Amino acid sequence: MEKRHKDAMENMEDIAAQFYEQLKKGTIPEMKISTRSKNNIVFDKKTGVWKYGSSKSTRSAKKLSGARMILRTLYMLDFITDMIESEKSSTLREMYYISEGWEKAKFGDQSESDRLAEDMEIVTDCLREDFKLRPEEDGARLIGDITVKERTRKGDIRKINCRDDVGDSGYTIPYNVEEDKVNFDDIGVDFVIAIETGGMFDRLVENGFDESSNSLLVHLKGQPARSTRRVIKRLNEEEGLPVVVFLDGDPWSFRIFASVAYGAINSAHLSDFLATPTAEYVGITASDILNYDLPTDKLSKTDRNALKQELEDPRFNTRFWHDEIETMLEINKKAEQQALAKYGLDFVTDVYLPEKLSELGLL
Amino acid sequence: MDSIAEKLAEKQKEISIGEFFERNKHILGFDSLTKSLVTAVKEGVDNALDACEEADILPEIIVEIEEVDDKEYMVAVEDNGPGIVKRKVPDVFAKLLYGSRFHDIRQSRGQQGIGVSAVVMYGQLSTGKGTMVRSKVKEKDYAVEMEITMDTKKNKADIVSEEVVLWDEKEHGTRFEVTLKGLLRSGDHSVFEYLKNTAIVNPHARIVFNCDGDTTVFKRATDQLPPPTVSVKPHIEGIELGTFVKMAKESDRRKATSFLVNEFSRISNRTAKEILGEAGVDDSKKPGDLSLGECKKILSATDKVKIMAPETDCLSPIRSMLIKKGLKNVLKGYRPEFYAPPTTREPCVYSGNPFQVEVGLVYGGDLPSEGSVRVLRFANRVPLLYKKSGCATTTAIKNMDWRIYGLDQRGGTGMPSGPVIILVHVASTRVPFTSEAKEAIADIPEVVEEIERGLRECARHMRTHLNKEKRRKKVSKKFMIVKDLLPMIAEKSALIVGKEPPPLDKVMTKIMGVVYVENTHQWNGKHCEVNIDVSNYTPRKRKLKVYMEKPYPENIALEPNIEPEHDGEYLEWQLDTLDPSAKAEIRFKFDGGIQKEDMQGVDVYIEGVKGTMLIGAEPLPDDWDVDMAEIEKE
């Protein structure tokens, strides 16, 4: 058994012991956990990312929901320790289906069990990989001149060049991108472009932008999976590649950027591990909508509310973001990346990106 | 050349009653086809109920509707009333403004005597057909059957045919069949709704509704007839000048004083003198000699003299128990979760007319929780189906902030919404209708205020129920914690750390923090077996005393497992000290003399724990001892 798994088991047994002792003393069982809300994330000067602050929430068996959470916690840690002992692993979804048999401790839907798995990371100070839990979906794909060394199922190391050895859909990021599985060999690019939509990713591939700009294209697939964010982080930290993020121009894309660069509210305990604080937002910005006179949609009520919430979000508390958010509210419009096609299919690679990237000193 | 007056005189002629009817259809309730059908049934049923009650007979009413042609219906109403003697049949059915109650001041359904003859006339005018009437009185072994039409010029009946028939299945009763233009609809303004609501406020009646082959029976919920209403003398504050003048002219009293004393209620000799003195009218003047001016002065003088309010014993409210029975009888299909104890307010007076308000409220069950609450309006036991928005009941409901009683209401005004049916009954010797059509009660401030008070009483009961329900839910959640989850938490954590599960009593009582009382009873033959379980789910030891109301004062507990004291109105048990998590069980029986109804609302009280820590019973009221002492003094 690897040490990381052994540590995880011990940490989890401590939690069970804590409930047991509380009951034995005649006190109502409870557990404390960092409050997972935007009011409890603070900027860590040392690492440049946002993490949970000192505010804690208490789950007490005094309340029905709290009692249920404590019971679920016990079932989940029992399940995980069993799994580690028997050298197995499972997906989050498999664990959710297994929990169907936990009677009073079963979950309403998978998001509840996923969230509790994250809670377990927070209280044990471990990663879910230490628990042998993995997400069911893969990371996204990347295309560009880098060579990765991936350990295959058979155990040998395969070298893959992400431009020459792959098809049009690129290299698929596996769920585990730690050093035991993935390492970088040859880096032929100058920087990384992370792209929100598949449509735009394919446009840049078709236009050969990875080669013409000497960059690595990473498809985020909406809100990026942990492994995608982890790969970006490692490329940035280990290989010193600058990272830019190219998204739609709407409040939800702003949030995607925040989770890539600053750390996500839901997984702020992993910010050190996942966030790339030097990542730059290229667009689409509210100013782009005006400057390039892009086709737009009207903001919906939920869009406006999301923007207003972002004004309260400490991660967006900078001059740049407040200007952008307020402008967007003022013009009451949003635009997709692909709105750039208004000026032709090559506009994004011939004009828009070169302009934006030179501003950042990358071209 | 004829003068203008002569020209006008040529045009001035008597209008026939038929024409009058045609022009005034709306005030008689025949302004639409749907409504005409409801009105015909309503007039028939009102008469039938009045007739039965006056004769002290439990009403059995049959209503039949059959479509005979396009938009043409045969409507029949049959009762088991005393019957009508042969010579009076034509007048009752075919003479407008004929009736026994027109000059009577008392609470009754019909008042103007337009009622059923208007139905006969409408049938005749709309289809050209006469009305068949059959009636049998107890003294005769045969019935009389007549076909009647109406001579609308002379306001009298024409008898088309007349024969004697056997009617063996009826000892006595009356049936009429009229054919009229109409439209049969369902919904809020339907015959069915009218009969259903009639059944609610007349639980002593059995009503059979036969509609195009479908039969609905509204069963009788009680054999108790409403007490007969009595006629009273008018109260001078409610009298109109014209009526007063007429009464004075017709009076055979010799002095104005005795006229006032004898022909009006609540006027003593002294009050009469005071009124006349204030009006400056000679005491001994003959009432017939009073001038219009003097009459006017007398009436305005009544404002300055204190006159006792009119007697109110002439009113016949339905009373709480029967409203509840009526509501249950008709609404049980909705399985409502709560019937607020219906309120019968004390009688009040508006401009000299006694009136009394009753309110009932039903909550929850399968009643629709979306949309406005439903309101059932009644005046003198007659359902009001139309002009809801212009009715005093609606005004009173809209005036109240229902949010504090637990219903949704936008902005705290207007119609509240929720799974609620509200019943409002206004009984009066003269219900203040907004118009002659008698469809809505006018917004008389005194009446609106009384309705509002009644509503508040019922609403308070609803709030208490909802709060109890809320607390019960909260406690049932805690039960889930201590009964299901906590033992599992103990077991699972013990398993993981490899130890025995710890004892949970202390933690359980900390989580619950209540004394929990379960009071149930079941019937075993004629005995009622009562179980009271008291569990101490608090972290402290408790010395508790249990009180139970006796269903009626002489009841004592039979075969009790713990001997109670039973000298007073209550059964009292002093329990041994209960440890945390311990439970005491009280078991006993009541004897066979007890009825199921007696056990309704019998409460259990607990002394020795705060009300906020008590579930399933009431805390002993603070003024308990004071109350007892006062009762003893008397």
Q: Which single residue is written with the structure tokens 């028997």? A: A86
CB A273 within 8 A of CB A127: yes
Averaged pLDDT, B298-319:
84
**pLDDT, position B173:** 93
Please report the number of interchain residue pairs, chain A to chain B, with beta-carbon separation below 8 angstroms: 76
Same domain, B275 and B353: no
pLDDT exceeds cutoff 80 at B22: no
Residue where one domain finishes, among candidates B465, B484, B516: B465
pLDDT exceeds cutoff 70 at B283: yes
Give the CATH number of domain A141-359: 3.40.1360.10
Higher local confidence (pLDDT), B297 or B332: B297
Residue B448 is assigned to a structural domain of this protein? yes
Which residue among A28, A64, A105 sits closest to B510, beta carbon to beta carbon?
A28
pLDDT exceeds cutoff 50 at B626: no
Active-site position among A20, A52, A75, A97: A97
**pLDDT, position A92:** 92
Alpha carbon of B368: minimum distance to chain A alpha carbons (Å): 28
**pLDDT, position B355:** 92
**pLDDT, position A240:** 94
pLDDT exceeds cutoff 60 at B631: no
Report the distance separating Cα B119 and Cα B180, nearest Å. Answer: 9
**pLDDT, position B625:** 43
Concatenated DSSP letters of B271-297: HHHHHHHHHT--TTS-GGG--HHHHHH
Report the distance separating Cα B618 and Cα A139, nearest Å. Answer: 62
DSSP-derived letter for residue B441 is B
Same domain, B274 and B152: no
Residue B292 is assigned to a structural domain of this protein? yes
Residue where one domain finishes, among candidates B283, B301, B319: B301
CB A231 within 8 A of CB A144: no
Count Cβ atoms below 10 Å from residue B309 Cβ, excluding itself: 14
CATH code of B414's domain: 3.30.230.10
Same domain, B193 and B240: no
Strands of the A146-151 sheet, one edge to the other: A157-161, A146-151, A182-187
Most confident residue range from B4-8, B30-34, B611-615 = B30-34
Residue B142 is assigned to a structural domain of this protein? yes
Per-domain boundaries in chain A: 3-134, 141-359
Give the CATH number of domain A3-134: 1.10.10.10
> Strand, coil or helix: what is B14?
coil
What Cα–Cα distance (Å) separates residue B511 from each residue in A27, A60, B483, B502?
Answer: 10, 10, 11, 16
B480 CB near a chain A CB, below 8 Å? yes
Residue B623 is assigned to a structural domain of this protein? yes
Share of chain A above pLDDT 90, in %: 79
Residue where one domain finishes, among candidates B188, B218, B248: B218
Active site residue A97: yes
Averaged pLDDT, A256-283:
93
Paired tokens of A252: 């939800």
- What are the strands, taking DSSP E only, across B281-381? 338-344, 348-350, 353-363, 374-379
Same domain, B247 and B190: no
pLDDT band at B305 (very low <50, low <70, confident <90, very high): confident
Identify all chain A residues contacting B506, using CB atoms and an 8 Å cutoff.
26
pLDDT digits (tens, 9 = 90+) for B485-527: 999 999 999 999 999 999 888 898 888 888 988 888 888 877 8
- How confident is the prediction for chain A on average, in pLDDT? 92
Same domain, B333 and B455: yes
- How confident is the prediction for chain B on average, in pLDDT? 85
Q: Do A74 and B504 touch (CB under 8 A)?
A: no
Averaged pLDDT, A155-182:
90
Which residue among A27, A64, A103 sits closest to B481, beta carbon to beta carbon?
A64
Contacts with B119 (C-beta within 8 Å, 6 or more apart), sequence order: B39, B40, B43, B44, B75, B131, B178, B180
Residue whose C-alpha is closest to residue B36's, from B51, B25, B49, B46: B25
CB B531 within 8 A of CB B520: yes
pLDDT exceeds cutoff 60 at B541: yes
pLDDT digits (tens, 9 = 90+) for B131-159: 999 999 988 888 999 999 888 777 778 88
Same domain, B564 and B605: yes
Q: List the domain range (segments joined by +) for residue B615.
A: 506-633
pTM value surpassing 0.80: no
pLDDT exceeds cutoff 90 at B565: no
pLDDT exceeds cutoff 60 at B102: no
Residue B370 is assigned to a structural domain of this protein? yes
CATH code of B624's domain: 2.60.40.2960
Same domain, B274 and B349: no
A28 CB near a chain B CB, below 8 Å? yes
Which residue type sits at A119? D
Give me the residues of A, 63-92, that contact B with CB < 8 A: 63-64, 67-68, 70-71, 74-75, 77-78, 81
Residue whose C-alpha is closest to residue B56's, from B156, B172, B154: B172
Q: How many CA within 13 A on the CB side of residue B440?
A: 17
Same domain, B446 and B406: yes
A98 CB near a chain B CB, below 8 Å? no
CB B190 within 8 A of CB B38: yes
Same domain, B46 and B88: yes
pLDDT exceeds cutoff 60 at A3: yes
CATH code of B297's domain: 1.10.8.50
**pLDDT, position B624:** 45
pLDDT exceeds cutoff 50 at B623: no
Name the pairing type of β-strands A191-195 and A215-219. Answer: parallel
B473 CB near a chain A CB, below 8 Å? no
Residue B230 is assigned to a structural domain of this protein? no
Residue B582 is assigned to a structural domain of this protein? yes
Number of structural domains chain B divides into:
4
Write the burial class of residue B453 (CB in 10 Å: 0-12 exposed, 13-18 middle, 19+ buried).
middle
pLDDT digits (tens, 9 = 90+) for A46-96: 988 999 999 999 999 999 999 999 999 999 999 999 999 998 889 999 999
pLDDT digits (tens, 9 = 90+) for B389-430: 889 999 999 999 999 999 999 988 899 999 999 999 999 988
Report the distance separating Cα A234 and Cα B166, nearest Å. Answer: 107
Residue whose C-alpha is closest to residue B25's, from B437, B441, B438: B437
